[in-house]
């Protein structure tokens, strides 16, 4: 329960490292009493030292002492981060103690006795946000960093946390404010010696801006994949080697041990990290025409799963001729996101790739041998290319969109920019053009912060000599 | 030694410039016994700077003053020697009126307007300080030792508090050329505890028109069909004087660059911040070195004088440099300077110390208006004077305060900006300050504000009835356009094609035709059967065209206003304590406690208050049941 005490008087504490057998644990405190508390429990050279005398952002060696019994609890490193230069913007401290279960817990209990209270989940970040240390988009990224399932997911979350997305939004806003300043100058200073707006240039600038925003928008599909993973179904008729292929994929990759909480689908067998993408693999029953009632239930379910999947890995036994069951599966993957594994390719192939082209792009066909473990890397490459094919960005330096909230706001802003283009083409009076631009700005502002009219006026005066 | 003046007043107005005149007239007209104290009765309503009223944004303010029952629009119409509509090729929302005024005629009109009020006393005195009882103003004291008592006091001292004129290295303690500064009042601001800052403004040398070579200059005539400022005036029929345009040149810039060290602006003598949009010529040349010329408008000072106001070359350079520089300009090579240009520094009081009624937070019943609040311009001053005068009168009468919001009026925008954000340079109105510009037009100022002006007892009934007639005309014409159908036939379609519009197959209302970009209101007559209609005035037409042609934009603007109102109606009680809110940093608590926003909407506009803090505040206020309707005067439409 949240108390009604103002945060200023309310100091929170928590163990920041994972509970377990680690060698070192970190206990974090934030709030106005942090420094007082440290003074009471931290000994340097055997005596309490004033927080004011302890340099901020420096490690201090010493001991934690129980302020009631005067017993030494542990030998620790302690760092103070004095407000406002801290993660939360408040006075903070971290105690680096020995790990394990007991010591950190004991220290934490000491803190609670001294008026700190347990931090709620995410409360350090919440405070950082409330104190203006990060904007909304950055705060959102903190959860993503903690919950990231793959390297790529983590990288993206980190980029967003660093403010790369906010920076990009800021650039878009800047571009709009530049255009707006020119438009507004026409309105408010009709008698000044200001050059008339060059319509073609503004149109060009706007189209470029829309293109840039669209590039970011287009990354959302990928961003969603990076953040949430991809539901993947492995389909094929019985005995083509689906399970061996699955095992082979899993064997070579780190299996993700904790799938997203709350997903309780019966079919999820494993989540694996393929080239930075979390594939949530669903193995399905072999799909074939059958009279057997029970088998039929499994087949129907498999078909349903394949339909729901965002990615299908279809498996065909290359060593035997295509039969109607194979054709049925190939029909199924037509026009879906799919890769086709020609398994058992170590044996003489009886399936010509050319026969498959009407069902699937040749680039998405891979020869594999689950038995010999060959073609697995190629399969992964193909999956990666297929999932992130729209991606036109240099490795690691670019940010993708992962939040639907951001996507919707960006879409609203491009809508307004398009409406601006229509209006400027029609030679509408500048105040109408300005309205579209301002709405576009507001939409972008929803992602991070606000644009005020002062910003626009500032821009006008820095660009034009205004003075009647 | 002090003398208590025997007659007590309800409202005292200190100063009789543009803010003071509106304040005094509003208070007196609303029935308060009003006293105006001015250091010089001859300068009532004096235009200290350029002889001109209005402009884009500023014209909007004048129309609003007029719609509420103020005087500036009428005085401008009376004194105008040139009328000019600005932005005529742009949309109705940004078109604006500006006039050149005869300086003498303007001020004698204003003086007479004040003297015509039966509730008004006018006295020439220099106010030295305030009489405060507890937290409440009781009156003022003058340099002659008199004490004047009143229920409310409106302070409008312009550039006089600690005014310091600079001409080169020469410094003169003065609020305006030839007039003494007011030092006593500045001291009282400090002793009461107001946070005071320093601003700067300037004015160009005034020229002798007989020494200007007019033939070589470009003429800028007035409009052929001049339109008045005041809604109460209909036709303007008079001869107009032209302005002339000339330019500075490389030589001018050379003179200035060579003498920059003599300018108190660049020698560090002037500490006050000047306006960016009304820079001195020194400033323009330093900040925009690539521009090889700057415009100079030569504006006539009046009908009965040769004095010329060269707008665009305000300067504080030494007089001998002023001569040198003006004489480099085309047409001015033999010009004589009648009055030197100068810069003036003056004290202003940080306006975040005011409530949206312009009453100070420190002292009850004390109101500030005009340059003292950090603004510049006659129109800005007049608007504030009106707001302060109205609220002083309402306070005296024990009625609800009068506050306009950002979606109602430019006046509301200005006051909100001042009391919420404060100023870091002299504040001037621009239409780009208005978020809801499309609905805040000159042509509908009376529709927006007339009823409010009448309700508070300021706008005269006869004027109010004129507004009502116009309002009705707009509504009726709108209905007629909606209900009049045009049935397609070959003749109709021929006309449409000749106008560049596509032919019609189904019956269309006149409104639907008007919505087409190719068709103007004037074109509708081609489709009318009944030509025997009441004449419709231009401002009715512009309102109808706006509403019909830009329905989509107007709708979006209305949605924005809706959103805005939701936060504005989220009232924060005046006594609200921000210390009790979990989740607000000390800095933000401090900002909020200083400004004391009246609504959540106002809180969002305080600099440094983060969106996160607003959400915390909203949650807390909701839980506290803080969401009540706004009080005060509002209008349902």
Q: Centre a 10 Å sphere on the Cβ of residue B621 and count the other Cβ atoms it contains.
A: 21
| Pairing between β-strand B136-142 and β-strand B146-155 as defined by DSSP bridges | antiparallel
Within 10 angstroms of residue B72's Cβ, the number of other Cβ atoms is 31
Chain B residues in contact with A432 by the CB 8 A cut-off are 91, 438, 550, 553
pLDDT at B478 over 60: yes
Question: Which chain A residues are Cβ-neighbours of B560 within 8 angstroms?
Answer: 439
Given CB atoms, is B326 within the 8 Å cutoff of chain A?
Answer: no
pLDDT band for position A461 (cuts 50, 70, 90): low
Residue B626 scores a pLDDT above 50? no
Q: CB distance from B433 to chain A under 8 Å?
A: yes
Share of chain A above pLDDT 70, in %: 86
Q: Is the confidence at residue B536, as pLDDT, over 70?
A: yes
Disruptive mutation site among A3, A467, A468 for chain B (greatest number of B CBs within 10 Å): A467
Residue B432 to residue A187, Cβ atoms within 8 A: yes
A192 contacts in chain B (CB < 8 Å):
295
pLDDT of residue A227: 79
What number of residues does chain B have?
637
Per-residue pLDDT at B296 exceeds 80 = yes
Q: Which residues of A touch B517 (CB under 8 A)?
A: 426
Judge whether residue A270 has pLDDT over 80: no
Half-sphere exposure of B637 (CA within 13 A, CB side): 12
Q: What is the CATH number of domain B206-342?
A: 2.40.30.260
Report the alpha-carbon distance of residue B217 to residue B245 in Å, rounded: 6
Question: Chain A contacts of B91, Cβ < 8 Å?
Answer: 428-432
Q: Which of B57, B291, B579 sits opposite A188 (nearest CB)?
A: B57
Q: Are strands B196-203 and B120-124 parallel, antiparallel or unpaired?
A: unpaired
Query: What mean pLDDT is reported for chain B?
Result: 91
User: Residue A394 above 80 pLDDT?
Assistant: no
Residue B134 Cα, gap to closest chain A Cα (Å): 33
B positions 43-62 inside 8 Å of A (CB): 56-57
pLDDT at A455: 58
At residue B198, does pLDDT exceed 90?
yes
- Residue B628: its pLDDT value, please? 43
pLDDT at B483 over 50: yes
Least confident of A20-29, A395-404, B494-503, B538-547: A395-404
Question: In this predicted model, which residue has the larger pLDDT, B276 or B91?
Answer: B91
User: pLDDT confidence of A459, banded at 50, 70, 90?
Assistant: low
Q: Does the beta-carbon distance from B312 to A468 stay under 8 Å?
A: yes
Domains and CATH numbers, chain A: 7-128 (3.30.1360.120), 164-221+405-463 (1.20.120.430), 227-387 (3.40.50.300)
Superfamily for the B569-623 domain? GidA associated domain, C-terminal subdomain (1.10.150.570)
Report the DSSP pairing between strands A230-235 and A59-65. unpaired
Report the half-sphere exposure of A459 (CA within 13 A, side-chain side).
20
What does the pLDDT read at residue B625?
53
Residues of A in contact with B57 (CB under 8 A): 188
Query: Among residues 8-27 of chain B, which lie with CB inside 8 Å of chain A?
Result: none
Which of B56, B93, B430, B603 best probes binding to A when mutated, by most A CB atoms within 10 angstroms?
Answer: B430
CA dist A108 and B16 (Å) reads 69
Q: How much is the mean pLDDT over chain A?
A: 80
Cβ of A449 and B610 within 8 Å?
yes
Beta strands in B145-237 (DSSP E): 146-155, 164-167, 170-176, 179-180, 196-203, 206-208, 218-220
Q: State pLDDT tens for residues B559-583.
A: 889 888 888 888 898 888 888 776 6
Q: Kindly indicate the confidence band of residue A387, based on its pLDDT and cuts at 50, 70 and 90.
A: confident
Of B287, B288, B553, the CB nearest to A435: B553
Which residue among A2, A6, A467 places its CB closest to the CB of B312? A467
CB contact under 8 A, B610 and A130: yes
- A117-120 contacts, C-beta under 8 A, 24 or more apart: A117/A3, A117/A10, A117/A11, A117/A12, A117/A13, A118/A12, A118/A13, A118/A14, A119/A12, A119/A13, A119/A14, A119/A28, A119/A30, A120/A2, A120/A12
Percent of chain B with pLDDT over 70: 96
Which residues of chain A make contact with B312, given a CB cutoff of 8 A?
467-468
Q: How many CA atoms lie within 13 A of A197 on its CB side?
A: 27
User: What span, in angstroms and rounded, lies between the C-alpha atoms of B410 and B430?
Assistant: 9
Q: Rounded to an integer, what distance in angstroms lies between the CA atom of residue B72 and that of residue B106?
A: 9
For A194, which DSSP code?
A: P
Average pLDDT, stretch A77-93? 91
Residue of B nearest to A191 (CA): B86
User: Where does the pLDDT of residue A5 fall: very low under 50, low under 70, confident under 90, or very high at 90 and above?
Assistant: very low
**pLDDT bracket for residue B637 (50, 70, 90):** very low
| pLDDT score at B633 | 44
Q: How confident is the model at residue B609 (pLDDT cuts 50, 70, 90)?
A: confident
Does A453 contact chain B (CB < 8 Å)? yes
**Count of all residues that appear for chain A in the document:** 468
CB-CB under 8 Å, A465 with B583:
no
Q: What pLDDT, on a 0 to 100 scale, did the predictor assign at position B368?
A: 98
Nearest to B487 by CA among B529, B521, B453, B452: B529
Question: Of the segments A441-450, B375-384, B429-438, which one has the largest average pLDDT value?
Answer: B375-384
**Which tops the pLDDT comparison, A303 or B81?**
B81
Render B17-65 in DSSP notation, one character per residue.
SHHHHHHHHHHHHTT--EEEEES-GGGTT---S-SEEE-TTHHHHHHHH
Of the candidates A213, A13, A232, A3, the one whose C-alpha atom is nearest the C-alpha of residue A108 is A13
* Probe site for chain A from B314, B437, B610 (most A CB atoms < 10 A): B610
A7–B90 C-beta distance less than 8 A: no
Are B583 and B611 spatial neighbours (Cβ–Cβ below 8 Å)?
no
Q: What pLDDT is stored for residue A260 in this prediction?
A: 39
Selecting from B91, B94, B585 the residue whose C-beta is nearest the C-beta of A131 gives B585
pLDDT of residue A412: 92
Q: CA–CA separation, A60 vs A360, rounded Å?
A: 63
B298 contacts B243 by C-beta, under 8 angstroms: yes
What band does A189 get if pLDDT is binned at 50, 70 and 90? confident
- Give me the residue from B91, B421, B430 closest to A429, CB to CB: B91
pLDDT in tens, B7-18: 889 999 999 999
Q: Please check the confidence at residue A453 and state whether its pLDDT lies above 60.
A: no
Count the helix, strand and coil residues of chain B and give each as a percent rounded to the nearest 5: 40, 20, 40
On chain B, the residues whose CB falls within 8 A of the CB of A190 are: 56, 86-87, 90
- Is A139 a residue whose pLDDT tops 80? no
Residues 6+ away with beta carbon under 8 Å from B62:
B53, B54, B72, B73, B76, B97, B229, B379, B382
- Break chain B into its structural domains and give their ranges: 206-342, 470-550, 569-623
Residue B545 and residue B511 in contact, taking contact as beta carbons nearer than 8 Å: no
| Average pLDDT of the segment spanning A294-307 | 77
- The reported pLDDT for the residue numbered A371 is 80
Between A250 and B560, residue with greater pLDDT = B560
Answer yes or no: do A461 and B430 touch at CB < 8 A.
no
Contact status of A450 with chain B (Cβ, < 8 Å): yes
Match 């990615």 to its residue by tokens. Answer: A311
- Mean pLDDT (whole number) for B527-535: 66
Give the residue from chain B lying closest to A445, CA to CA. B611
Please report the DSSP string for B292-338 in residue order.
---EEEEEE--TT--EEEEET----S-HHHHHHHHTTSTT-TT--EE
A188-192, A303-307, A379-383: segment of lowest average pLDDT = A303-307
Q: Which residues of B touch A465 (CB under 8 A)?
A: 279, 284, 287-288, 291, 294
Does A298 contact B at CB distance below 8 Å? no
> Chains A and B: how many Cβ contacts under 8 Å?
128
Residue B165 has pLDDT above 90, yes or no: yes
Q: Angle A404-425/A430-447 helices, nearest 10 degrees?
A: 170
- Residue A415, CA atoms < 13 Å, CB-side half-sphere: 10
The pLDDT tens digits for A88-133 are 888 999 999 998 878 888 999 899 999 888 887 667 877 777 677 7
pLDDT at B71: 98
Instruction: Please tell me the predicted confidence (pLDDT) of residue A457.
Output: 56
pLDDT for A449: 54
What is the architecture, at CATH level 2, of domain B470-550?
Orthogonal Bundle (1.10)
Nearest C-alpha in B relative to A127: B583
Separation of alpha carbons B172 and B178, rounded Å: 9
Q: What is the dihedral of CA B464, B467, B468, B474, to 10 degrees?
A: -170
Given A126, A190, A193, which is nearest B56 (Cβ)? A190
- Residue B332, pLDDT > 90, answer yes
- The mean pLDDT value for A59-85 works out to 91
User: What pLDDT shows up at residue A436?
Assistant: 93
Please give the Cα distance from A157 to A138 (Å, whole number).
9
Choose from A9-23, A271-285, A434-448 the range with maximum mean pLDDT. Answer: A434-448
Out of A49-63, A182-196, B65-79, which region has the weakest mean confidence (pLDDT)? A182-196
- Residue B435 contacts A where some CB pair is shorter than 8 Å: yes
Query: Which is nearest to B502 in space by CA: B492, B511, A279?
Result: B492
Provide the ipTM. Answer: 0.82
10 Å CB burial of residue B263 (0-12, 13-18, 19+) is buried
**Cβ of residue B406 closer than 8 Å to a chain A Cβ:** no
CA-nearest residue to B439 within chain A is A431
Dihedral-angle region of residue B31 (phi above 0 means left; psi in -120 to 50 means alpha; beta otherwise): left
Between CA B243 and CA B81 the distance in angstroms is 10
What is the model's pLDDT at position A308? 80
Ranked by mean pLDDT, the top range of A244-248, A388-392, B519-523, B629-633 is B519-523
Q: CB distance A136–B312 less than 8 Å?
A: no
Residue A21 DSSP symbol: S
On whether the CB atoms of residues B204 and B379 are closer than 8 A, the answer is no
DSSP, res B232 = T
pLDDT of A266 over the 50 cut: no
Q: Which of B294, B582, B584 sits opposite A465 (nearest CB)?
A: B294
Residue B56 has its nearest CB partner, among A188, A457, A461, at: A188
| B275 interface with A at CB cutoff 8 Å | no
Quick check: A452 and B605 CB within 8 A? yes
């Amino acid at each position: 329960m949240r108390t009604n005490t103002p945060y200023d008087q309310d100091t929170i504490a928590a163990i920041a490292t994972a509970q377990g057998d680690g060698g070192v644990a970190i206990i974090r405190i934030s709030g106005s009493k942090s420094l007082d508390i440290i003074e009471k429990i931290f000994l340097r050279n055997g005596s309490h030292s004033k927080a004011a005398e302890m340099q901020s952002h420096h490690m201090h060696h010493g001991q934690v002492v129980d302020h009631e019994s005067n017993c030494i609890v542990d030998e620790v490193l302690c760092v103070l981060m004095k407000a406002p230069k801290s993660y939360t913007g408040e006075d903070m401290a971290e105690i680096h103690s020995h790990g394990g279960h007991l010591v950190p817990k004991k220290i934490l209990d000491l803190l609670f006795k001294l008026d700190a209270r347990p931090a709620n989940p995410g409360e350090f970040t919440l405070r950082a946000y409330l104190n203006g240390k990060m904007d909304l988009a950055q705060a959102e990224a903190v959860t993503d960093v903690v919950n990231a399932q793959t390297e790529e997911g983590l990288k993206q979350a980190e980029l967003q946390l660093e403010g790369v997305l906010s920076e990009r939004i800021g650039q878009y806003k800047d571009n709009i404010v530049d255009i707006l300043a020119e438009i507004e100058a026409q309105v408010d200073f009709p008698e000044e010696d200001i050059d008339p707006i060059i319509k073609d240039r503004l149109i060009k600038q706007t189209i470029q801006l829309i293109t840039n925003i669209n590039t970011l928008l287009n990354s959302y599909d990928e961003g969603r994949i990076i953040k949430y993973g991809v539901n993947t179904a492995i389909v094929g008729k019985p005995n083509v080697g689906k399970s061996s292929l699955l095992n082979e994929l899993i064997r070579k990759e780190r299996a993700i041990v904790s799938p997203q909480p709350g997903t309780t689908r019966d079919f999820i067998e494993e989540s694996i990290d393929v080239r930075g993408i979390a594939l949530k693999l669903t193995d399905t029953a072999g799909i074939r025409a059958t009279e057997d009632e029970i088998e039929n239930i499994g087949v129907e379910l498999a078909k349903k799963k394949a339909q729901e999947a965002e990615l299908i890995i279809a498996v065909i036994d290359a060593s035997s001729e295509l039969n109607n069951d194979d054709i049925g599966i190939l029909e199924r993957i037509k026009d879906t996101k799919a890769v086709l594994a020609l398994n058992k390719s170590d044996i003489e192939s009886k399936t010509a790739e050319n026969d498959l082209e009407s069902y699937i792009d040749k680039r998405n066909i891979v020869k594999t041998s689950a038995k010999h473990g060959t073609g697995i890397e190629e399969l992964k490459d193909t999956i990666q290319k297929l999932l992130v094919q729209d991606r036109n960005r240099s490795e690691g330096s670019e940010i993708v969109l992962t939040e639907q909230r951001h996507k919707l706001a960006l879409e609203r802003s491009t809508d307004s920019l398009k409406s601006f283009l229509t209006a400027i083409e029609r030679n509408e009076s500048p105040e109408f053009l300005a309205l579209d631009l301002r709405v576009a700005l507001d939409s972008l502002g929803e992602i991070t912060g606000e644009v005020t009219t002062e910003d626009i006026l500032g821009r006008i005066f820095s660009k034009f000599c205004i003075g009647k | 030694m002090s003398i208590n003046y025997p007659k007590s007043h309800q409202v005292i107005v200190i100063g009789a410039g543009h803010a003071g005149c509106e304040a005094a007239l509003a208070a007196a007209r609303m029935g308060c016994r009003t006293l105006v104290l001015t250091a010089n009765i001859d300068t009532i309503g004096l235009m200290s700077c350029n002889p001109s009223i209005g402009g884009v944004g500023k014209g909007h303010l004048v129309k609003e003053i007029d719609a509420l029952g103020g005087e500036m629009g009428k005085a401008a119409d009376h004194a105008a020697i040139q009328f000019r509509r600005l932005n005529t090729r742009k949309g109705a929302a940004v078109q604006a009126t500006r006039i050149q005024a005869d300086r003498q005629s303007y001020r004698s009109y204003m003086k007479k307007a004040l003297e015509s009020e039966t509730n008004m006393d006018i006295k020439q005195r220099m106010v030295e300080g305030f009489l405060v009882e507890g937290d409440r103003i009781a009156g003022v004291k003058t340099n002659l030792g008199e004490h004047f008592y009143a229920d409310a006091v409106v302070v409008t001292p312009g550039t006089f508090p600690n005014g310091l004129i600079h001409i080169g290295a020469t410094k003169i303690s003065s609020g305006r050329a030839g007039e003494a500064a007011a030092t006593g009042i500045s001291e009282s601001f400090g002793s009461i505890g107001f946070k005071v800052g320093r601003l700067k403004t300037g004015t160009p040398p005034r020229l002798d028109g007989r020494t200007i070579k007019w033939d070589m200059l470009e003429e800028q005539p007035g409009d052929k069909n001049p339109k008045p400022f005041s809604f109460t005036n209909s036709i303007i029929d008079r001869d107009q004087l032209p302005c002339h345009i000339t330019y500075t040149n490389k030589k001018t810039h050379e003179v200035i660059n060579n003498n920059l060290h003599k300018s108190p602006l660049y020698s560090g003598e002037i500490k006050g911040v000047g306006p960016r949009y009304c820079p001195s010529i020194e400033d323009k040349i330093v900040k925009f070195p690539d521009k090889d010329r700057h415009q100079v408008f030569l504006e006539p000072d009046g009908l009965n004088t040769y004095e010329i106001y060269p707008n665009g070359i305000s300067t504080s350079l030494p007089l001998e440099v002023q001569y040198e520089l003006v004489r480099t300009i085309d047409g001015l090579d033999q010009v004589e300077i009648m009055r030197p240009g100068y810069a003036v520094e003056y004290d202003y009081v940080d306006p975040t110390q005011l409530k949206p009624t312009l009453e100070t937070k420190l002292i009850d019943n004390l109101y500030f208006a005009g340059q003292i609040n950090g603004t510049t311009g006659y129109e800005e001053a007049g608007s504030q004077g009106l707001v302060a005068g109205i609220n002083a009168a309402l306070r005296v009468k024990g009625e609800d305060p009068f506050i306009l919001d950002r979606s109602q009026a430019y006046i509301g925008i200005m006051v909100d900006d001042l009391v919420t954000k404060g100023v870091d340079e002299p504040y001037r109105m621009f239409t780009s300050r208005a978020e809801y510009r499309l609905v805040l037009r000159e042509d509908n100022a009376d529709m927006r504000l007339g009823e409010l002006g009448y309700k508070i007892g300021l706008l005269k009934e006869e004027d109010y009835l004129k507004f009502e007639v116009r309002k009705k005309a707009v509504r009726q014409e709108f209905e007629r356009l909606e209900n009049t159908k045009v049935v397609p036939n070959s003749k109709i379609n021929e006309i449409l094609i000749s106008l560049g519009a596509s032919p019609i197959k189904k019956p269309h209302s006149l409104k639907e035709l008007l919505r087409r970009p190719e068709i103007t209101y004037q074109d509708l007559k081609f489709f009318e059967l009944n030509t025997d209609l009441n004449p419709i005035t231009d401002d009715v037409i512009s309102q109808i065209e706006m509403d019909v042609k830009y329905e989509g934009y107007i709708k979006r603007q209305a949605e924005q206003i809706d959103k805005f109102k939701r936060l504005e109606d989220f009232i924060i009680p005046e006594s609200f304590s921000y210390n009790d809110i979990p989740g607000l940093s000390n800095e933000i608590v401090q900002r909020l406690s200083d400004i004391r926003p009246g609504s959540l909407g106002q809180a969002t506009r305080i600099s440094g208050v983060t969106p996160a803090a607003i959400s915390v505040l909203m949650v807390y206020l909701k839980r506290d049941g803080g969401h009540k309707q706004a009080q005060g005067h509002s209008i349902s439409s």
